[in-house]
Each structure stands twice: as C-alpha cells, then as structure tokens.
Structure 1
Amino acid sequence: MKQMEHESQSFAEKSFSVDVSEAQGENTGLEVLQNYGVAAADVQKLRAGGICTVKGIQMVGRKSLLKIKGMSEAKVDKIKEITQKISSCGFVSAMDYSVKRQQVFRVSTGGGDLDQLLGGGIESMSITEVFGEFRTGKTQLCMTMCVTAQLIETQSGERGKVAFIDTEGTFRPGRIKEIAERFGIPPEEALENVLFARAFNTEHQMDLLTSLSAMFAEEIGRYRLLIVDSIISLFRTDFSGRGELGERQQKLNKMLNALMRISEEYNVAVFITNQMMSDPGAGMSFVPDPKKPVGGHVLAHASATRIALRKGRNETRVAKIHDSPDLPEAEATYAITQYGIDNPSAT
C-alpha cells in the first residue's frame, strides 16, 4: 500500500505538459513516454505485452493494461493521461475522417474480376474473411496475396512485407516462388518478404500476434498484409466439448480484437480464412446445401467484409459478397492456376 502511495506521489511530482510537436502522429513510438517520467523498464513491459505505440495504448482499456506484469493502477492512469495529451483519440469531423481514410490501400487477389468485386482488392485497416468448403481456393488466395502485397511499395521504394500465421500446416514456399514469377518478383526476394509462423494451439496463436505488434512497430509502413489461415482451426481443436463453447467464443473474440487493433494501428490489411460446418437448424428450410461458417456471431461481427467461396462449373470457383459495409451483394468467378488466383479465362 505504501509502495502504491509513493508511486502515485512520484508520478504527481512530474510535469506532464506535452509538446505536440514531439508527437510523430498516431504511430508515435513508446520512447516518447520517457520524456514525461515513464521509466524505460515500464516502456519495455508495455512492449512485452504487445503494445508498442501511443495509439496502441489508447486502443486498449485500463483493465488490459493492468494485466501486464508490473503495471499498477497509478502507472496505468498516468500513462493513459500522457497518451491522451500526446494524441487525442476523440471525436473528429466526418471530413477529417475521410482524409484519414485516404491512407487505405487494397491488396490485389490476383484475379481481375475478383478484385473488381472487392472494389480493387482486400482493404487495409479492416478484417476481410473468406469462408468455404475445401478446394474453394482459400489457401491459394493467401499464397497469391503473399506476392501481390509486395507490389505495394513503401515511400522509400521497398517492397511491402507480409506476415503469415499458418494453423493448418498448408503453407508452401514453393507456391510463393511460382506465383512470384508471374508478377515479376525474384522468387528468393519474394520469400524473404514473407514472415511465416506455424501456430500449434490457440495460446501460441495469440502469442504470435503479440510478437507481431513489436515487429510491425519496428518497420511501420513496411508491412502490408497479415494472413491467418485459418482463424478457427485451433479453436475447434482446443475447445471441442459442447460445454467449452462459451470459453472458446471469449478467447476468439479477444484474438479478433487484437487483429482489429493491428489493422488500424499499423494500417495493414488483415485476411483470415474460415471453415464451414453443417447447419442442423436449416434441415427443414429447403436449403440445398445447409452449411454455415464457423465462429458464430463473434466472428461475423469482427469481419468488416465476408466473402463466401464455392465451387462452380468445371474448375471455376465463385466468390460472393456475404457482408460488407460498402460493397453491394454480387458475385465474381475466379480460377486456381499454376501461378495463383486468376480469371477463369486465364486457365
């Protein structure tokens, strides 16, 4: 108790008037906190907890900050106060927000018709989900975008980078090399620009996301795309009992919130794949193929854009906008080729 009182007093004795010119925008690094009395050790604790920018602090609640080892209420309150002064996170006019939205970019899927359906490709600062049965091209979409995201160069002219979390063991570097040839990127260079990790359980999957925040903060503006293939696979394994559904959805929600924060904090496109399951409640609804995506309402609400994939005639696949805040319900066809996703006419 005495230690907490002493801590509060020491914080109160500091001067926290903030020179706004020091702030470098919403992606200001945590080093700036040291100018206002926050110890370097506490900054390191925040980084270890997956919070690496001033905006990152603003995007999480006090409860989450208190869960970080070594963070007391006094420290959290003062850190929140400082970050609010450095960069306000309140109301802005719709005009100002529209200016901010000009930073949004789109990652090509590789198929021209599919890109047109999506308004140019997979959007940054949001989560895009695709779901469908096996052999509809979910992983092939991931592989193709590992390459197309590199075509979006940084301000310094460097190729964009991609982070890939594989939960099903389907990532194949050889496919990246094949697709890279199509887009004129040296195969070895294409592989160097993809940061890969294999997740083996849901805790490991969450730890990987936490470590990614630090990597994105080190190279702000370099990473263009974060892929999780698939988002639900390990949750179905770790929480297989009917009585574990509530806990599964809570942990899934936490992971999706982490993905949303990353997408907005670092302006990256987040692309997740999802599986399908039989829908027992649709048995009497005269639906020819009563299946639905896994994850329930938690996953449905977290994804800004949801795309349903299905098999078409011959080797053609069909993508349909299932839900989107700005795209009309429509369909487009695509094909899986030797060089990734393309229009059916290219096969």
Structure 2
Amino acid sequence: MATKAKKQKAAQREDREDAETTVSECHDVSALEIEEDESCFQDIDLLQNHGINVADIKKLKSVGICTVKGVLMCTKKKLCNVKGLSEVKVEKIKEACQKLESGGFLTALQFSDKRKMVFRLSTGSKELDKLLGGGMESMSITEAFGEFRTGKTQLSHTLCVTCQMPGSNGYSGGKAIFIDTENTFRPDRLRDIADRFSLDQGAVLDNVLYARAYTSEHQFELLDLVAGKCHEEAGIYKLLVVDSIMALFRVDFSGRGELSERQQKLAQMLSRLQKISEEYNLAVFVTNQMTADPGATMSFQVDPKKPIGGNIMAHASTTRISLRKGRGEVRIAKIYDSPDLPESEATFAITLGGVDDAKE
C-alpha cells in the first residue's frame, strides 16, 4: 500500500510540474543547443591565435564588433575610424579574419543547409503566422507599416512574449530586446499577454531588455550595445524590436535640404540591423509610419498614403507587411513585399491578451 501511495504522489508531482509551464523553464536551453547557436559565429577572441593583440580586440568590442563575421561585414574605412586602429593594423585584422572565415561563394545546396538555422516566431495569431509562412523569420528584417491604431505596437508587445515560448521545428525560446523611439512600450501589456499564455509575469518581463532612444544618433549607438549583449549571452536573444524605425529620423532631419543626409544615415542603420540579424541569428521586427503622398491625386491611387523611408526602407526590409483597420478590433494584414511569400491577406484581432485570431 505504501509503495502504491508513493507512486500516486510521484505521478501527481509530475502532472503538476508539466502543468506549471513557466518562461524560465522555456529557457533551460541545453548546453548542446547553446553550442549550436554559438557555432553560427566565431568569437573575435580567436584572432589572438593569429597575432592580433588583446588591446586591439578590446577596441573592436567597444564599437560592437564582437565576431569574426562582424569584422568582415565592416569596411576598412569604418575600422580605421575606431580609435587606436591604424591602416596597417586594420589590414592585419582583416587578413586574420579571412583565414578564419572565408567570405567566398557557396553552392545553393550549402547555403540551403545554412538556412536550416533560420527559425520562425509566432505572432499570436494562427492566420497571421500562416500569412508569414509560419511566423516572423530570423536572419531578416520584417517591417510592419500602417496608420495609427492598426496594431503595430500591439504586435511588437505580443512578439516579445511569444518569442520566449518553445515553438515548432525545435525552437526552444529566447529573450527579446525592445528599442522604443516613441515612448509606446508598456510592461503592463506584457503582463496581460503573459496571462493569456499562462506564463509567469515576472519571468516574462525579466526576459525583455528595454531601451528608450531619444535621437536617431542614440538609436544607432544602441545597436552597438545590442551586438554586445548578443555576444555576451550567445544564442539567448532571439528577437529585436524597433518601434518605430523612422520616428526619430522624421524629427532630426527636416526639409528637402536634409533628405539625402537622412536617407544616408537610415541606410547605415538598416544595414547594421541586417548584419546583426545574420551575425547572431535574430528575428528583427521594425514598425514604420505612414505619410500622405502628394502625387497620389495625379495618378488616381485608391490609397493616397504610403510608408515613409522611401526606396532605402523598401529595399532594406526583407518582408513588408501593410496593416489596416477593419471592423471593431479586427485588423487586416497584407504581404506588401517579400522574396518568397505570395501577396495575400489575413485578418487578426487585438485583444486584452495581445494579437489573436479574429472571431467570425
């Protein structure tokens, strides 16, 4: 009888442990998984074996260049601008990096194998996930644009929670980084969304790293800190949100006289975002604002509004999603541009628990 009671107690304990799924449990990533994530990049410290001194490596780390791939992604001109690095030193660093990682050609089959590392994050809505081919893709920039109240910020908050949950294809969950340019981030929204998925509120909030950007320059500087954090906790950060990408550029650069400078700085920031997403295997989600198109009346367009940022923004984003209002809490998402997804639409709803499927 005693053994039977012990067995029943053990079974009850196991059931209770299974039911109490917390986010902290989602992050018990095995050593093997972390090793796999680390294998996607080579640490810059390896350059010591090729004659590069520790002081020069520290100088590179101070500007957010923490991997061998990160060095190869930078021009010699940019590296020469790092305080204390001469042209001769830069040449030596570049040569050492080329020995460690070749930036040459791959066959499509080899590249296909590399693409197996790409994961997808759930948006909270099955219909929206289906539209995106399974969810928000890593190693790329996904841009959502629309008028106010179309769900851009709500989608950002929902992703910060869903990225922490284990998903399909062996995805184990991870942490999120949120760069806020419009003071729209609300931790209480994360609490509500955590409740919807029966997750521990404290753990969910603890796994989101937040920064408020006040100028476009500050926004760019924060990306160096993002690279540092991703390097520090290898394979832990899975999502980077910038809400919104263009707001501060709109303020800091005004008029046609400063337009070319604005677009140049924007291009540099988007290039940095793309490199970070590939370097550390992150899903980058950015939101964008709309503007009235003064030339639309001449071309008889149905919708006279367009996303800001021009061609620079259009070419940098891998997948662009257009959001618009529907009836009540319903919103409509449309694939505006994508290299591999067909142009189609999906409906979703904004609920207390974040982005969800629309009820018919």
Q: Following the alignment from structure 1 to structure 2, what is the Cα–Cα distance between the partners of residues 152 and 287?
A: 43
CA gap of 1:157–1:144, structure 2 versus 1, over 3 A, is closer
| CA 1:299–1:91: 2 relative to 1, 3 Å | same
2:318 maps to which of 304, 315, 327: 304
1:126 aligns with 2:172: no
Contact 1:26–1:87 (Cα < 8 Å) also in 2: no
CA apart distance, 1:26: 4.6
Distance 1:162 1:298 in 2: 26
Judge conservation of contact 2:141–2:317 (CA < 8 Å) in 1: yes
Residue 331 (1) aligns with residue 345 (2): yes
Amino acid at match of 2:245: I
Stretches of structure 1 that go unaligned for 5 or more consecutive residues are 1-23
1:227 deviates by: 0.3
Give the C-alpha shift of residue 242 in structure 1: 2.1
1:109 to 123, 130, 138: 123
Match in the other structure for 1:267: 281
One-letter amino acid of the structure 2 residue matched with residue 250 of structure 1: Q
Distance 2:259 2:188 in 1: 37
- Which residue is equivalent to 1:14? none
TM-score (norm 2): 0.87
Per the alignment, residue 176 of structure 2 pairs with 162
Once the two structures are superposed, residues 91-144 of structure 1 have per-residue CA deviations (whole angstroms, 9 ceiling, x without a partner) of 011000000000000111111100000001110000000000000000000000
2:234 equivalent among 220, 225, 229: 220
Q: Which residue of 1 aligns with 2:293?
A: 279
Structure-1 residue corresponding to 2:87: 73
State the AA in 2 paired with 1:290. Answer: P
Are 1:251 and 2:265 matched, yes or no?
yes
Which whole-Å CA distance do the structure 2 matches of 1:101 and 1:32 have between them?
25
- Paired residues in the alignment total 322
Does structure 1 residue 49 correspond to structure 2 residue 63? yes
Q: Does 1:229 align with 2:246?
A: no
Q: Deviations over 1:183-228 (max 9, x none)?
A: 2220100000000000000111011001110110111211110000
Alignment-derived partner of residue 192 in structure 1: 206
User: Which residue, out of 45, 60, 64, partners 1:31?
Assistant: 45
1:180 touches 1:187 (CA, 8 Å); kept in 2? yes
| Equivalent residue letter for 2:206 | E
CA pair 299-255 structure 1, distance change in 2 beyond 3 A: same
Task: Give the structure 2 partner of residue 144 of structure 1.
Answer: 158
What's the TM-score, normalizing by structure 1? 0.90
Paired residue for 1:135, among 149, 158, 170?
149
In structure 2, runs of 5+ residues without a counterpart are 1-37
In structure 1, the residue matched to 2:24 is: none
* % identity of equivalent residues: 59
CA RMSD across the alignment: 1.6
2:252 and 2:224 mapped to 1: Cα distance? 20
